[in-house]
Amino acid sequence: MLRSSLIYLAKAVAFGLVMAAVFIVFTRFVADPNGGLLQFNSGSELSFSSAVRKAAPAVVNIYSLSINQEQPLNSSKLQGLGSGVIMSKQGYIITNYHVINKADEIVVALQDGRKFSADVVGLDPETDLAVLKIEGDNLPVVPVNLKHAPRVGDVVLAIGNPYNLGQTITQGIISATGRSGLSSRYLDFLQTDAAINAGNSGGALIDTTGSLIGINTAAYQLTNDDKAGHGINFAIPIELAYKVMGKLIKDGRVIRGALGISGEPVNQVIAQILNLPDLKGIFITSLDSGGPAFRAGLRPRDVIIKYQHEDVTGVDMLMDRIAETKPGTKVDVQIIRDGKTLDIPVVMGEKPVRYN
């Protein structure tokens, strides 16, 4: 009886020791919802240092120089400061268009102290993106995971060079998410409360695994001054930035299709006035005179219900499909006009690029 009790007690003690060891190990590493591990230091304090070490070396400082043409020999001056992200060993760097716009010379500084003169590969004002290229060996490259979709509430880190203070990390969460189509507008962006100050533009927004999820681009301000923000900052989703980068490397610009229409979603009032069967489609409010839709015979008050045989579910969806269609392509646009369904072929035009 005594022996059985001792054996039972020994087993209980052994089990307790094993569980204590497991608990000690577990408290040092906590699973991250993004697929990584959040490490705690010996003081049980949360740290993102591992993620920063992976991404930060690939975030560069960009110095945009402007030369006064009236005094070209002695009037070189810093026009603006910003950040960029090295995306490949070949030296391709993503940054913001507004960071390098109108710069006569661009200097890229790495965190290891190296400096390079950069060439402009391509510019896309519509998404506020630009691609630069530098020539160098052993360039650090940021980790990218295009398969992971950021979610509201995810912890994120913004890396950049605010106010030319040197590389700085700020932390926050994803406040809202958008889309990733080529008809990009502010609503397409990731919204975060991680601070994005002047100079952070073009820098990296990373998740807790160190993977790039966005390119920092703007902070919302109530006034025209650059005082403290309001926790409303924006980053271009990496899926969109990566897509634009590929097009800029290939063509030097983003070639977008254009239909030459403006429209709004069908609501109950429009559906009742036009006697539509449901609330699907886009109500055409205006046409560009001489544009592709105008030449094909589309009219204001037509309702587009299909584009290339795909149901039109909203303005954003239609604008993305139009932008992604190669100019010169003949597309089928299905509309409702005066209660009748019509299929109208339209030859796509090209949306002009407007550089500021």
Could you give the CA distance from residue 251 to residue 131 in angstroms, rounded to a whole number? Answer: 12
Mean pLDDT for all residues in the chain: 84
pLDDT for res 220: 62
How many beta carbons lie within 10 A of that of residue 52, not counting itself? Answer: 19
Could you give the CA distance from residue 100 to residue 43 in angstroms, rounded to a whole number? Answer: 43
Cβ burial, residue 229 (10 Å; 0-12/13-18/19+)? middle
Q: What is the mean pLDDT of residues 144-149?
A: 88
More confident residue, 219 or 182: 219
Q: Please tell me whether residue 100 adopts helix, strand or coil conformation.
A: helix
**Residues belonging to the active site:** 98, 128, 201
List pLDDT tens digits, range 277-294: 888 899 999 999 999 999
Could you give the CA distance from residue 11 to residue 94 in angstroms, rounded to a whole number? Answer: 60
| In the chain, % of residues over pLDDT 70 | 77
pLDDT for res 163: 80
Residue 145 has pLDDT above 60, yes or no: yes
Q: What share of the chain is helix, strand, coil (3-state, %, to 5)?
A: 25, 35, 40
Which residues, 6 or more positions from 122, have their beta carbon under 8 angstroms from its beta carbon? Answer: 130, 131, 247, 248, 249, 251, 252, 253, 254
Q: What is the mean pLDDT of residues 108-131?
A: 94
Residue 272 has pLDDT above 50, yes or no: yes
Which residues, 6 or more positions from 11, have their beta carbon under 8 angstroms from its beta carbon? Answer: none
List pLDDT tens digits, range 171-215: 999 998 875 555 555 457 898 999 888 888 999 999 999 999 999
Residue 265 has pLDDT above 80, yes or no: yes
> What global pTM score does this model have?
0.78
Query: β-strand 46-47 against 59-66: which pairing, if any?
Result: unpaired
In the chain, what are the domains?
Answer: 61-134 (2.40.10.10), 154-251 (2.40.10.10), 257-350 (2.30.42.10)
